[in-house]
Structure 1
Amino acid sequence: MAQERDDRPQIDIAPLVAAAQGLLARPGRQVLAIAGPPGSGKSRLAQRLAAQLDDPPGRVAILPMDGFHYDDAVLHQMGRRPWKGAPDTFDLGGLGAMLARLRDPAEGAVAVPVFDRDLEISRGSARIIGPEARLIVIEGNYLLLDRPGWDRLRAGFDLTAMIEVPEDELHRRLLRRWQRHGLDEAEIAFKLQENDLPNGRVVAHESRPADLVLRF
């Protein structure tokens, strides 16, 4: 697969870096949640933040919410495979349990799942978050969703951030994403109009207010 060229405008992350540094000044492990619609750049933002703060190495760890996607076999059984990425296609209980483990110093090193976007599957125990991690950066669409079950996650976050991107820009980015994955026009149209963009509206209109808002 061709390497993606990132021509997106860069968010000014200075306020987020400052807030994260404030978290690192506190005792114990802290959790920073970054939410946003599909295509908003959550993963890249988390990586940029970690790159600036991860000194010494291992001090900052990233937990992607996408690692908690239900497997395609489960989604087929549910009749929800075409809508993979909607709120009900995630293992919400598993995510909540993982956050609790990461909050518990007695757990030591914790293995977490990571979503393989090329294969479109979650790989279990694909990353280790060691006990030296002082800041966990969790990123995902629905971390601030104000719906039953999802709303309980908020208590596990010490700081929250929301990325806001205009829908026409999200459309452009998501179109390029699915073109790179080799989907045909009909498949891309379904992905955009029936899944990705509606999910983005859910994030925009049904999320609780964040401590920080980052806009493109």
Structure 2
Amino acid sequence: MCSVCANLDMLMDVTIADALKVLRDRAAAGRIIVALAGPPGAGKSTLASELAKGLGADGVSARVVPMDGFHLDDAVLDEMGWHARKGAPHTYDVDGLKTLLERLRREKAGEIYYPVFDRTTEIAHAAAARVSPDDRVVIVEGNYLLLDAPGWNDIARLFDVTIMVSAPIGELERRLLGRWADLAPDAARAKVEGNDLVNARLVISKSLGADMTISA
């Protein structure tokens, strides 16, 4: 395990406490943008919330920006014939995400608004939340932030710290099936095996190396 984590030149398996120390230290010099990547079902949203809460307890204002706000709308997915693969890399507005990240790096004195995805309606709402000038750590969480693929690998340089959340594929499958518990068992199984686990294996096999990894 990593105890200091001051040097981020090598891949390290760390605890949440380790990650918090790194983020606090790096944010002392100004705003940092953190990539919190990992396969679907790995627990990224929960971990991002824990990191933001831990930083806040230490007086470091942190904001979580979910990548899911850049989901393509269902109308666009239907038009493109991509609805069955909603959540795959090509069903996101990666250029829009890149523009937001560039603004977060460049514009630190004003409010920056970003879209938020509503899971109950499956709709992204524009300008639904904001990053304020006081936010020293911006935690961007999402599946493909470190994906080594056209479009996605253009955004890796925009992160100051990168974290990969990992979990065994069997555990991911269990969690993902639970996510679709409102569907009939056969339908849930088909959705997980035909889309979610395909995306999970892609993240696991095709992501760039992260500064830190956290097992969830």
Tell me the TM-score normalized by structure 2: 0.89
Distance in structure 2 (CA, Å) of the matches to 1:201 and 1:186:
21
How much has 1:14 moved relative to structure 2?
1.1
Residue 47 of structure 1: how far off its partner (Å): 0.3
- Identity fraction in percent: 44
1:108 to 90, 110, 113: 110
Who is 2:94 aligned against?
A: 92
Q: How does 1:1-216 map to 2 (within 5 A)?
A: 12-26=15-29, 28-55=30-57, 59-105=61-107, 108-179=110-181, 182-216=182-216
Letter in 2 for 1:215: S
Q: CA deviation at 1:132?
A: 1.0
How many positions carry a matched residue from both structures? 203
CA distance in 2, matches of 1:63, 1:120: 17
How far off is 1:131 after superposition? 1.1
Q: Which amino acid aligns with 1:87?
A: P
CA offset digits 1:13-48 (Å, max 9, x no partner): 11111111122122x211011100001000110000
Amino acid at match of 1:23: R
Letter in 1 for 2:213: V
Deviations for 1:160-208, whole angstroms, at most 9, x for unmatched residues? 01011001101111111110xx212232122111100010000000000
C-alpha displacement of 1:105: 2.5
Distance in structure 2 (CA, Å) of the matches to 1:168 and 1:149? 29
- Please give the alpha-carbon distance, in whole angstroms, between the structure 2 residues aligned to 1:14 and 1:57: 15
Q: What does residue 8 of structure 2 align with?
A: none
RMSD, aligned α-carbons: 1.6
Contact 2:24 2:60 in 1 (8 A): no
Structure 2: tracts of 5 or more residues without a match: 1-13
Residue 194 of structure 1 aligns to a residue whose secondary structure is helix
Give ranges in structure 1 of 5+ residues lacking alignment.
1-10
| 1:170 partner SS | helix
Distance of 2:104 and 2:58 partners within structure 1: 19
4+ long deviations beyond 4 Å: 55-58
Asked if 1 retains the 8 angstrom alpha-carbon contact of 2:36 and 2:44, the reply is yes
Find the residue that maps to 2:79 and give its secondary structure.
helix
Amino acid at match of 1:193: E
Superposed CA offset, 1:30-79 (max 9, x none) = 10111000010001100000001125878211110011000000000010
SS of aligned partner of 2:155: helix
Q: Name the structure 1 match of 2:11.
A: none
Does the 8 Å contact 2:35/2:139 carry over to 1? yes
Q: Which amino acid aligns with 1:209?
A: G
Measure the CA separation in 2 of the matches of 1:159 and 1:178.
32
Letter in 2 for 1:211: D
Whole-Å Cα distance in 2 between the matches of residues 100 and 147 of structure 1? 19
Q: Given the two structures, how large is their TM-score scaled by the length of structure 1?
A: 0.89
